[in-house]
Structure 1
Amino acid sequence: MSGRNGENGDTGPVPRLVAPDWGGDALVVAGLAVPDRPGITTVPVEGNPRAVAVSADGTRAYTANHDAGTLSVVDLGSPGLPVLRTVDAGKNPCAVVAGLTGDQVCVAAWAGDQVRVFDKEGLSPVPLPVGAGPCAVAAAPGGQASLVCVVNETDATVSVVDVSTAGSPSVAATVHVPGATGAIVVARSGRFAYVASRGEGTADGWVTVLDLDAHGRALGAPVPVGAEPRALALGPGGDRLCVANYGSATVSLATVDPGTGQVGTPRPVSVGPHPVAVDFAPDGTSVLVVGQTSGTLTAIRVDTLAATHLGTPVGAVPAGVVHGPEGAFAYVGDQATGDLVTVRTAPRETDEIPTGAGSKPVNVAVSPDGAWAYAADSASDKVAVLDLDTRRPGTPVALGAPHQPWDVAIAPDRTFACATSPGSSSLLLLTPAPGETLTLDGAVTVTPIALAPGASPYGVAVTPDGRYAVTADSGTATVSLVDPKGGRYTIAAQAVDCQQPTGAALSPDGRTLYIADFARTPENQQGGKIAVLSRTGPGQWQPLDPIDATAGRLSGPHEPALSADGLRLCVANYQNGTVSVLQRATVDDAWAFHMAVAKTPTAMQRPYGLALTSDGGTLYVSNAAGQRATVEVFDISTNPAQYRRTITVENNVPIPPGLALSPDGQYLYAAVSKTWMSDNNALGTVYGTELAKNDQQMAIVATSPHQPVDRPTGLACRDDRTLYVVNQGRDEAPTREASLAVLTLDGTRLAVQESKTLPLDKAAMPYSIAAADDGTAYIADFTSRTVTVLTSGVTPVPVGSQGSSSPWDVAVTDDGAYACASDRAAGAVHCVRLAGDHEVVSLAVGRDPMGVACAPGGARAFVADHGDDSVTVIALSGAAGAPEVVATWRHPLIVGPESVSVSADGALLFVTSENNGAFLMLDTATGTPLFTVPAGRALAGSAPDPHLATPRVYLADAEGSAVSVADTTALGLVGPTKAAFDLRQARR
């Protein structure tokens, strides 16, 4: 295809086509630098040029001028494309081949029963007699061929001409064939020639294989094809043969063994009437066929023989077809109108973007602007970043251990992206710098959001408004709605009903909140209470009967602590230096006072913070006796409690610290606030100790001003590596904002790896904090009498029952009405209404449904039924206004489907199958398979380009460590260009 451009004087290589114009006595050169808009240059030559050839280096074109009996030599490398010379070529020359050994050129003179062999410049002619009526010549492509096959139409023979010695051609063999039609092709190896014949005295068609290494000996009997074979072509790999059967409206496709030349049994494919020309795509995956009398253009997949017909005729009398550069466009010559018709061709793989050695990408998300993409690498803790413009990888986003991503999604406004991590039951939130949007190479912050324990989320999608990320949780039979911006709400003072809330504890199921009310009443100066709230819905709490000072033996309660089974409640009594222990037999029983924990002979002073082991047996109490901040350790499994030891936190501190115990019970942390000091700088320290070592002194974990610790009053362990620290800041001048510090600890768990802060209301005077398993934080607000709730924003919606349900993939309609989740265990798709009460409609589909996708417009969803070799179609607003199954598509090409996606225009459904290196394209209106497109080794998830004008799809190649790029263009006309080409003789 590459050569030298002569129409504008540029001598750089450009793609082009050259072909003769019979009626116009000209050579036509079409420049294809812009493939959909050919630039045409016409070069006058002598009468009735029937054929053209191009030298191996692309600098010369040769036309065989039938009526003039001449050969014209055109300089393709010079401006204006001058004709260098026109020389005698014998009587009625009709075929020419170039690029032979020594750059020789061979011309067939039909009426002279001879060929003439010239040098590259059309000089030094050598005539050589051959059979009667030589009408076609062919040689191995690629240059330096030493043998030329000459088809002699009149006596039905093929002359094998040896041109290995320049200037001394000879006939090496003459082979009889049954009624040659003039269609012949030579394999790239130069060993085998394939000749089409109509049969002697019959319309039956045949292909004869000649072994040129054996003097043209025919290999076995001719292979039967359709009637009147007019044209044939070999695929670029030499392993496929296509024959246009003019008389039977078919083409014959057969496999070829390039090593032996053996042709397999041809398989017929119906096309338009009178197929006259065929051409393979450059990648060999499809072949184009043009019908002469019908104007029909047909594209055929060579692997499946699936045929697609262009609905609009490509011309009145089209006579030839040839692919352009990269195969994205093809060109058809219309004899009746003198037009060169440009056609968009069939889908094909165009490129691949590597995702890193050893990677296993399984899902892809394309940015809304189509410029870049993320790919989830299931074999690492990274998300690959891909530049879709340059087709190069960017710097991966590290998610951190133990997160290994499975699916990935990008918010429409690019304010965040997210990836699921089934192994860690987390959603990883990827965010840009504040006020920015995600870009190809911009900084990204990764924040894990814990879902329910054991959730194992696989699929993820983002609602159109960017409000939620929606996950399909295979382990908990839920669909989780996650607020990626982080939820925050306030439990109002009326619900809290406390005068001075100082501490909070949460039941294991997250439904009951205990709030310590430090306030003394006029009747009881040592009073206070524990308020009890029950969660009745998202962000909704209802007060229950409180635990009053008398029932709980309370005296200025400061912080509560609850055992993991919810049966033991401890309360620090700031006023009298004790801890009240309450118990109950079941979670439905009322609380009863069990015992008071005290230290003798040196009493505790102002016990503030509490930490309780999960079994409720060991209690840690903060103390400030003797101007020393300590932690007192008690065994409360017996009554009375037994004092065990003292851990020093910091000397010369009159205020007891807040405490937190890691979920695994191995580390204890303390927060010391120096609120009595008037220093203008941030003041405070977080300490920690590994309990198994029995150290007497805690070590510094974080201290101001190096870490965001500013008058810390309470802390909680989010998990074994994350600390929440409540900073009161400074109310007096100079003021400093109250905040919640989120400290991520390093591997030692006694030093800070990274940190961030979330602003709090300074006027509310945030005090202590409780953390739920899902990361939700409850902060007691002393002054405003409220509780601030910082949530992970996770709302799980049950869609089945654990054990019998396993949600796998999820898709959201672009109107935001539904999230559709496939359920592999239940053989169902759960349609969750996103607004209101999250109503779930479950629909039975095929066995083991995996991928699910929603069509543009929100009308339909498609489901890959992996176990049933089918695709289920769901109407989301069915006859009764609710989701319903409306169709199930089955076809031999739908085998083990795993994932589905829909093109931006809604016309195409892309289906990938288990361990298959090709994807299938279906018509979304009818379910008709259109093309199977090879695009990798083992394709997993796919993501179409979001732009209607960009017909591409990106596919994760799990075994190829790459994302494949495929052009999904369907057959379609682009437009005609005035150029009287005979594309049957076109050369690239």
Structure 2
Amino acid sequence: MSGHNDENGGTPVGPPRLVAPDWGADALVVAGLAVPDRPEIRATPVEDNPRAVAVSPDGTRAYSANHDAGTLSVVDLESQDLPVLRSVPAGKNPCAVVAGLAGEQVCVADWAGDRVTVFDKEGLSPVPLPVGAGPCALAAAPGGQAGRVCVVNGTDATVSVVDVSTPGSPSVAAPVPVPGATGAIAVARSGRFAYVASRGEGTADGWVTVLDLDADGRVVGAPVPVGAEPRALALGPGDDRLCVANYGSATVSVAIVDPDTGRVESPTAVAAGPHPVAVDFTPDGASVLVVGQTSGALTAVRVDTPAAVHLDGPVGAVPAGVVCGPEGAFAYVGDQATGALVTVRTAPRRTGEVPTGTGSKPVNVAVSPDGAWAYAADSLSDKVAVLDPGTLQPGTPIPLDAPHQPWDVAIAADRTFACATSPGSSSLLVLTPTGGGELTFDGAVTVTPIALAPGASPYGVAITPDGRYAVTADSGTATVSLVDPKGGRYTIDAETVDCQQPTGAALSRDGKTLYVADFASTLEGQTGGKIAVLSRTGPGRWQRLDPIDATTGQLSGPHELALSADGLRLCVANYQNGTVSVLQRATVNDAWTFHMAVTKSPTAMKHPYGLALTPDGLTLYVSNAAGQRATVEVFDISTKPAQFRRTITVESNNPIPPGLALSPDGQYLYAAVSKVWMGDDNPLGTVYGTDLNKNEPSMTVVATALSQPVDRPNGLACRDDRTLYVVSQGRKDTPIRDACLAVLTLDTTRLAVRESKTLPLDKNDVPYSIAAAGDGTAYVADFAGKTVTVLTSGVTPVPVGSPESSRPWDVAVTYDGGYACASDRESNSVHCVRLTGDHEVTSLTVGRDPMGVACAPRDARAFVANHKDNSVTVIALPGASGVPEVVTTWCHPLFAGPESVSVSADGTLLFVTCENNGALLMLDTTTGTPLFTVPAGRALAGSAPDPRPTTPRVCLADAEGAVVAVVDTTALGLVGPAPAAFDLRQARR
């Protein structure tokens, strides 16, 4: 193949191509391989019966040995029409030719004349030399500037060595006997050793004889037995492997060669189908391709195993030769029966790319279970890229909105949701189809942020096969978080809550203590009610502690509650006596004591209902219905007594005090007005808001029942600075309307709704006020049900280390959902978390700086990329002892800073990407043996195989190329024939 170093090679010049004779048409055929799967065929007439061809090292000349014409034709390969520059006499019956010799000489064998002739590059200055009887094959060291030519003399079974090291003055040594010599011969790239095949008698073994060309062809050691009737042999690119096609025994002999001594070890026979007739090494030397003449079979044999893979179906009717393409992804077979050049895909290759946007930096990819589309996390934007790996077309990116910037993505097996991590905002983003059903390539998507623990900084994410959990690796908090992305729900029962009429709720910052206000039907102006105190003992489990009674808290119909961030100040709105009780304690372990009552004078507060407290616990907002107006009274409670500061009007001519909520940053205040006194055949109610920094006297409308799902809204809470939870009571009397929790996502102004969704509540429970946790969990006090409804994302952080000494990075889940495996870059370990029971953690020491981790799709193994150890560790889940254990660690020179790993859908291939490397490594998952290296981009990051075992494809995030590369991982596959009467046994490159 001209343009590449090979047996006639030299400095690569021009496009890659194949040059071969067409005996029947007396022509020389050139197949251009610029597009390797679609050869471009050209031909030029030469003289009678061209039997062999050679190509000059610079790729500018082709030489045709014309058997019946007795000539050598010199063809100009630089010209489009391939003109014959000259045809010169070359003996009676020239049958073989070799180029790439010292001084650009060319040597031609004359079978009938028992001689060879040495020409210069242009076919001039012939020098004839006598050799043995019936010279039929020539070979020289590949790469150009060969100093010796080996001549197989078929009639007298000898080999002659021709010295061409001095251009114009060749010489020949005495013939060396090689009994039964065939035309199968190869010379090492070093130029020192030649390997000659000899036929056996009948079914007897054939032989390979090693000749030392530095000693005029002296035989090295004893001949090496191979199979019967060896027809072809080839040396690997490193001169360290020898493969022989044994026509009579239907095998290929694979042997290790010592390049320094030329000695061949005992070969291993590999079944290759009937009558193997030709072999050729792939460019990386890892495999050899074999064609069977009578079966039409193509076999790829890995030389280090050795193991054979057979192409399904015949590659031709009577294939006679095979040549590997320039990059090893394709091979070419000449079919004698049909006169066709058959193209075969022999190795994985990049098939294309999908852009992810200008300035993007995709770092991880997830492919949908049906393989129809994929998501890519663009780490430099607030978007998830959408792409079609089949058509290589991009879709419309999914906005996550600031401050969310994705790092990893995962798609649920049932396609009802996907997840993306946002390290900077410590959030998990849940992507769901807006109209329900399944996610699609171009369907509308709703994004719901789920807050993890503050500072969690999640990187990797995986989803369990049953879709129950999304699992994140939290680099900031040294945890693995188990998240219910569909939202969980449970009820704290009435016996545990122990309240007659729950009306308000407040939650400690750590989420472990819940306070519930019990209105208890207290008469106006009288003391009564209590605050229930509940302690969380586990996921969904609470126990009742001693309550704060009416006397201790100076309570009178307690309604909403407000708790300071430090948990040391609790405020209670006393609906019946128009005050707010402020309770204090010195530490979180102390009992609550009454500190003061907040009142307003001279105009009293009437039915204070809603409360909001700034994070520092110093400014209190109280809803009021005095004077037939719904207002918010602002108090400074840093002093005793509290100081009134100002009034904010919510709604005039409204006798009902609103529920209140303050954004976590303390900048925006929101109020919910239900309007229950009005006729309610239709939903009624309004949510208001104000920017407190502007000190405006009144609030503006954020949402109304006409446009949003707010129907008789009672309580509300800020899930975060952009999300409002609003309790809509609906109506249990005719006309019946369902209660719900409205989740309002605000736009950039934070005073208007961008989108909304609802979570159902039981209208018969009469849901009242709500408290929200930092992870998005909502606690709704049920007035009639005497319970607390908990709507939760189900975030369960499992500690796997300490933030000072651990940095979880990537995570994968086993095929059965039994374990989550998180790599830990700081502690050089992998934490295996049992996903059932008590979430037991087994930490295993692996290599330094483990980054990527992947689980096999069909067995309980995990693979870990050890970035600084240049290795891959294999973990069994569980191991022989019943707990996770390290099985082995693979090292290889190709593992240069491995960063990510993934496993093919059939479980046979491990895909590895390395730091700042544009090549994909493909490994055998059983042995760790590198099988292929596929150039696929500039700096590959995460990879995602197609989940379908029948679709051998993998998508790779190219962080520097701003694309997702798509690689076809097929090892053997028929591409198609092209009309070209090639004799690939004589093909040259």
**2: CA distance, partners of 1:898 / 1:278:** 37
Q: Tell me which residue corresponds to 1:94.
A: 51
Is contact 1:868-1:896 (8 Å) kept? yes
* Other structure's SS at 1:198 match: strand
Is contact 1:273-1:291 (8 Å) kept? no
Q: Tell me which residue corresponds to 1:817.
A: 818
**1: CA distance, partners of 2:520 / 2:836:** 41
Alignment of 1:434-583 (within 5 A): 434-520=435-521, 526-583=527-584
**2: CA distance, partners of 1:339 / 1:679:** 82
Alignment of 1:876-915 (within 5 A): 876-915=877-916
Greater CA deviation, 352-361 or 440-449? 352-361
2:149 to 186, 191, 197: 197
Is contact 1:861-1:874 (8 Å) kept? yes
TM-score by length of 1: 0.77
**2: CA distance, partners of 1:211 / 1:936:** 45
Query: Matched residue pairs, number?
Result: 863
* Other structure's SS at 1:853 match: strand
- How far residue 106 of structure 1 moved from its aligned partner, in angstroms, is 8.2
Is contact 1:504-1:516 (8 Å) kept? yes
Alignment of 1:34-73 (within 5 A): 53=29
**2: CA distance, partners of 1:724 / 1:842:** 39
Is contact 1:944-1:953 (8 Å) kept? yes
- Specify the code of the residue in structure 2 equivalent to 1:197: V
- How far residue 793 of structure 1 moved from its aligned partner, in angstroms, is 1.9
Relative to structure 1, is the Cα distance of residues 909 and 790 closer, same or farther in structure 2, using a 3 angstrom cutoff? same
1:224 to 191, 202, 205: 191
- Aligned pair 1:747/2:707, yes or no? no
- How far residue 506 of structure 1 moved from its aligned partner, in angstroms, is 0.6
* Other structure's SS at 2:535 match: strand
Relative to structure 1, is the Cα distance of residues 365 and 521 closer, same or farther in structure 2, using a 3 angstrom cutoff? same
Q: Tell me which residue corresponds to 2:835.
A: 834
Specify every segment of 5 or more residues in structure 1 that has no aligned partner in the other structure, as ranges: 2-15, 22-26, 28-44, 64-70, 72-88, 141-146, 163-170, 213-221, 231-244, 255-265, 301-305
- Aligned pair 1:380/2:390, yes or no? no
Q: Tell me which residue corresponds to 1:957.
A: 958
Relative to structure 1, is the Cα distance of residues 540 and 211 closer, same or farther in structure 2, using a 3 angstrom cutoff? farther
- How far residue 755 of structure 1 moved from its aligned partner, in angstroms, is 2.2
Greater CA deviation, 741-750 or 372-381? 741-750
- Aligned pair 1:311/2:278, yes or no? no
2:235 to 232, 239, 250: 250
**2: CA distance, partners of 1:548 / 1:205:** 110
**1: CA distance, partners of 2:401 / 2:889:** 42
Relative to structure 1, is the Cα distance of residues 953 and 527 closer, same or farther in structure 2, using a 3 angstrom cutoff? same
1:57-112 deviation per Cα after TM superposition (whole angstroms, max 9, x unaligned): 9788689xxxxxxx8xxxxxxxxxxxxxxxxx45x6534799xxxx9998643465
Is contact 2:18-2:30 (8 Å) kept? no
* Other structure's SS at 2:430 match: strand
- Specify the code of the residue in structure 1 equivalent to 2:707: H
Is contact 1:184-1:193 (8 Å) kept? no
1:416-463 deviation per Cα after TM superposition (whole angstroms, max 9, x unaligned): 111111111111111113442112222211111111111111111110
**1: CA distance, partners of 2:130 / 2:796:** 77
- How far residue 636 of structure 1 moved from its aligned partner, in angstroms, is 1.3
**1: CA distance, partners of 2:165 / 2:298:** 30
Relative to structure 1, is the Cα distance of residues 313 and 422 closer, same or farther in structure 2, using a 3 angstrom cutoff? closer
Alignment of 1:71-110 (within 5 A): 89=47, 93-95=50-52, 108-110=65-67
**2: CA distance, partners of 1:729 / 1:924:** 58
Q: Tell me which residue corresponds to 2:925.
A: 924
- Specify the code of the residue in structure 2 equivalent to 1:801: S
Relative to structure 1, is the Cα distance of residues 550 and 251 closer, same or farther in structure 2, using a 3 angstrom cutoff? closer
- Aligned pair 1:129/2:105, yes or no? no
- How far residue 671 of structure 1 moved from its aligned partner, in angstroms, is 1.4
- How far residue 908 of structure 1 moved from its aligned partner, in angstroms, is 1.9
Relative to structure 1, is the Cα distance of residues 859 and 754 closer, same or farther in structure 2, using a 3 angstrom cutoff? closer
Q: Tell me which residue corresponds to 1:263.
A: none
- How far residue 628 of structure 1 moved from its aligned partner, in angstroms, is 1.1
Is contact 1:117-1:126 (8 Å) kept? yes
**1: CA distance, partners of 2:687 / 2:263:** 78
- How far residue 378 of structure 1 moved from its aligned partner, in angstroms, is 1.3
Q: Tell me which residue corresponds to 2:423.
A: 422
Q: Tell me which residue corresponds to 1:357.
A: 358
Specify every segment of 5 or more residues in structure 2 that has no aligned partner in the other structure, as ranges: 2-16, 33-38, 169-188, 198-229, 240-258, 270-275
**2: CA distance, partners of 1:126 / 1:619:** 102
**2: CA distance, partners of 1:638 / 1:269:** 96
- Aligned pair 1:757/2:742, yes or no? no
- How far residue 831 of structure 1 moved from its aligned partner, in angstroms, is 0.8
**2: CA distance, partners of 1:136 / 1:491:** 91
**1: CA distance, partners of 2:129 / 2:962:** 50
**2: CA distance, partners of 1:55 / 1:858:** 46
**2: CA distance, partners of 1:207 / 1:847:** 55
Is contact 2:814-2:855 (8 Å) kept? yes
- How far residue 724 of structure 1 moved from its aligned partner, in angstroms, is 1.4
1:840-861 deviation per Cα after TM superposition (whole angstroms, max 9, x unaligned): 1111111111111112334211
Is contact 1:482-1:792 (8 Å) kept? yes
- How far residue 382 of structure 1 moved from its aligned partner, in angstroms, is 1.6
Alignment of 1:546-625 (within 5 A): 546-625=547-626
**2: CA distance, partners of 1:749 / 1:922:** 51
Is contact 2:236-2:285 (8 Å) kept? no
- Aligned pair 1:652/2:645, yes or no? no
**1: CA distance, partners of 2:166 / 2:746:** 76
- Specify the code of the residue in structure 2 equivalent to 1:419: A
Relative to structure 1, is the Cα distance of residues 718 and 523 closer, same or farther in structure 2, using a 3 angstrom cutoff? closer
**2: CA distance, partners of 1:439 / 1:855:** 26
**1: CA distance, partners of 2:368 / 2:82:** 57
Is contact 1:198-1:229 (8 Å) kept? no
- How far residue 176 of structure 1 moved from its aligned partner, in angstroms, is 9.0
Greater CA deviation, 479-488 or 309-318? 309-318
Relative to structure 1, is the Cα distance of residues 746 and 856 closer, same or farther in structure 2, using a 3 angstrom cutoff? closer
Is contact 1:206-1:225 (8 Å) kept? no
Q: Tell me which residue corresponds to 2:347.
A: 346
1:534-585 deviation per Cα after TM superposition (whole angstroms, max 9, x unaligned): 1111111111111111111111111111111111111111111011111111
Q: Tell me which residue corresponds to 1:724.
A: 725
- How far residue 269 of structure 1 moved from its aligned partner, in angstroms, is 12
- How far residue 334 of structure 1 moved from its aligned partner, in angstroms, is 10
1:333-362 deviation per Cα after TM superposition (whole angstroms, max 9, x unaligned): 7999x9999976233333333222222211
Alignment of 1:267-416 (within 5 A): 288=288, 290=290, 309-311=306-308, 320-323=321-324, 330=331, 345-416=346-417
- How far residue 392 of structure 1 moved from its aligned partner, in angstroms, is 2.2
Is contact 2:506-2:562 (8 Å) kept? yes
- How far residue 799 of structure 1 moved from its aligned partner, in angstroms, is 1.1
- Aligned pair 1:803/2:809, yes or no? no
Q: Tell me which residue corresponds to 2:246.
A: none
- How far residue 862 of structure 1 moved from its aligned partner, in angstroms, is 1.3
Alignment of 1:672-751 (within 5 A): 672-751=673-752
Alignment of 1:90-169 (within 5 A): 93-95=50-52, 108-110=65-67, 113-115=70-72, 128-130=88-90, 134-136=94-96, 151=108, 156-159=116-119
TM-score by length of 2: 0.77
**2: CA distance, partners of 1:480 / 1:925:** 31
1:113-153 deviation per Cα after TM superposition (whole angstroms, max 9, x unaligned): 4246999999999864356764457999xxxxxx9977455
* Other structure's SS at 1:861 match: strand
- Specify the code of the residue in structure 1 equivalent to 2:534: L
- Specify the code of the residue in structure 2 equivalent to 1:391: L
* Other structure's SS at 1:227 match: strand
Greater CA deviation, 349-358 or 575-584? 349-358
**2: CA distance, partners of 1:966 / 1:362:** 16
